[in-house]
Amino acid sequence: MKKLAFLTTLFCLLFYACSWAEEKTLNFFSISPIRVIDGNTFVALDDKGREIKIRLFGIDCPEKNQPWGKEAAAMTENYLMQSETVVASMLGLDRYARCLCLVMTNYLGAVVPLNSILVAEGLAWKAPEYPQNKIDKTLIREFGSTFFLHQAKAQDEKKRIWNGKYKAVPPWEWRKGKR
């Protein structure tokens, strides 16, 4: 039953993203992942063969040295490297000039949004809004609400970062403590 609910949620997200894309023209382009840096950042070649650093839009995974950080990176790597096709839509830039992207993968025959998968599996938080990021505020509201719903469901189901084994410290707070 949970799997059916999850698949239904993913279908709704894809339907919403596709209909939203028609209206707002999300431009997807093919990418070839090269290496994963952490759960929400990786390096890829774009469709013109240029190397780009991609940060998954709207989410924040645990840092590598934080509980669940290695698992988040491994899941990202698994989805990216095992997918037949990976496409991205660049929604803006962050303060480090990384491309903020919505990333879709064709994993085991199903098209899935990697950003949402990580949140739904309890390996990422819905990221706070960062005013220094150059991105359309409408996009933040539209996709942010979807990520929030996935996060609430993962919390209810006590998945990974929400299982109570470790205190769930959001990465942006973890980073502040490490400086």
Instruction: Write down the pLDDT at residue 13.
Output: 47
pLDDT surpasses 80 at 7: no
- Coil, helix or strand for 61? coil
Instruction: Show the domain range for 59.
Output: 2-178
Q: Render pLDDT for 67-102 as a digit per residue (tens, 0 to 9).
A: 999 999 999 999 999 998 999 999 888 889 999 999
Please state the domain count of the chain: 1
Does 41 or 175 have the greater pLDDT score?
A: 41
pLDDT surpasses 90 at 59: yes
- Alpha-carbon distance of 97 to 125, in angstroms, equals 21
- With bands split at pLDDT 50, 70 and 90, how would you rate the model's confidence at 159? very high
Q: What is the CATH number of the domain that holds 22?
A: 2.40.50.90
Tell me how far the alpha carbon of residue 72 is from its chain's centroid.
10
* Token pair of 102 as six digits: 């919505």
Q: Render pLDDT for 118-137 as a digit per residue (tens, 0 to 9).
A: 999 999 999 887 655 666 66
